[in-house]
Amino acid sequence: MKKSVLIISVLIIVVFSVMAIIYSNARKPYVSTEEKAREFVVTQLNYQSTQDIYIYHGTETILSVVGINENGEKEVAWFSEDGQSVETRNWADGISKDEAKRMLLNEKPDAELLSVTLGMEKVGPIWELSYLDEDNHLNYYYIVWETGDWWRKIENL
C-alpha cells in the first residue's frame, strides 16, 4: 500500500514538473519579445517607463508599447519586430482600451471578450478586439485608434 502511494506521488510530481517545463518553454518567445520591446523604447525612444506592451499579428507583426516619454507624457510607439517603421503618438490623441471595449459591447452586448490588442494597419493605428458571440463563434472587431471609427469586422470563424 505504501509503495503504491509513493509511486502515485512520484508520478504526480513528474507530470506537474513536465507541465511546468512545457508552459515555461511555450512562454519564452512571448516574454523575450516583450523584453526586447521594452528595451527598444527605453534605449531608442528614451521612454522613462513602460505601462503596456501589445503584440499584434496582422498584415505584419507590430509591437505597440504604451509608456512615459522623456518629457513625462504618456505616449504610444508602434514598430516592427526589427525596430524599423517606428511611429509614435501622444496617448491622448486616441481612444482608450476601455472606450474600445465599450464600443464593442454597445454593439454586441452578448459578446464574450477574449482580447484587446493595439496594432497598426494601412488605415493607421487600430484596436483589435477578439470575442465569442452567442453561438460561440470567434469574431474580430477593428476600431481606428485615433477616431474611434469602426474599420472592419471578421465574423463567424
Structure confidence by residue, pLDDT tens digits, 68-113: 999 999 999 999 887 777 899 999 999 999 999 999 999 999 999 9
Q: How much is the pLDDT for 66?
A: 97
Task: Name residue 87's amino acid.
Answer: E
Residue scoring higher pLDDT (1 or 49): 49
Look at residue 107 in the predicted model and tell me its pLDDT: 93
Q: So what's the pLDDT on residue 11?
A: 78
Q: How far apart are CA 143 and CA 59, in angstroms?
A: 16
Higher per-residue pLDDT: 122 or 1: 122
- The whole-number pLDDT of residue 2 equals 79
Q: Which domains, ranges and CATH numbers included, belong to the chain?
A: 2-93 (3.10.450.40), 97-154 (3.10.450.40)
pTM: 0.78
High-pLDDT (> 70) share of the chain, %: 92
Backbone angles phi, psi at 40, to 5 degrees: -60, -50
Residues 140-150: pLDDT tens digits? Answer: 999 999 999 99
d(CA 101, CA 127): 9
Residue 31 has pLDDT above 90, yes or no: no
Q: Which of 97, 105, 101 is nearest to 133 (CA)?
A: 105
Higher pLDDT, 110 or 21: 110
CA gap 132, 122 in Å, rounded: 26
Q: How far, in Å, CA of 71 to CA of 48, rounded?
A: 9
Nearest Cα to Cα of residue 54 among 86, 76, 74, 85: 76
The half-sphere exposure of 69 on its side-chain side, counting CA atoms within 13 A, is 12
Q: Do residues 65 and 35 touch, judged by C-beta distance below 8 A?
A: no
